[in-house]
Amino acid sequence: MEELLEILEEINPDVDYETCTTLIDDHILDSFAILSLVSELEDAFDVQVSPGDMVAENFNSAEAIWKMVQRLEEEG
């Protein structure tokens, strides 16, 4: 989770990712940020984020992103 928070802070350092649960709903992460984040996640955690995973509920909070990454790691 720490590595995920570091990635998020590189993309947008002005957000409290540990408490924010509306990253998509409040347009904190825009489409460019999401594409950057997906690329970073795939590199850092050796996962493949499919178009089906690209839904708001998977990206609205750091916790949701982390759960998606863990699920993708388990699916291998």
Which CATH number characterizes residue 54's domain?
1.10.1200.10
43's enclosing H/E stretch is helix 31-45
Q: Is the pLDDT of residue 76 over 90?
A: no
Q: How many domains does the chain have?
A: 1
Q: Is the pLDDT of residue 19 over 90?
A: yes
In whole numbers, what is the pLDDT of the chain averaged over residues? 97
Listed residue (14, 68, 12, 10) closest to 42, CA to CA: 68
pTM of the shown model: 0.95
3-state secondary structure of 29: coil
Mean of pLDDT values over 6-15: 96
Given this model, what pLDDT does residue 72 score?
Answer: 98
pLDDT band at 62 (very low <50, low <70, confident <90, very high): very high
Residue 63 CA to residue 54 CA, distance in Å, equals 15
Range of the structural domain that residue 14 is part of: 2-75
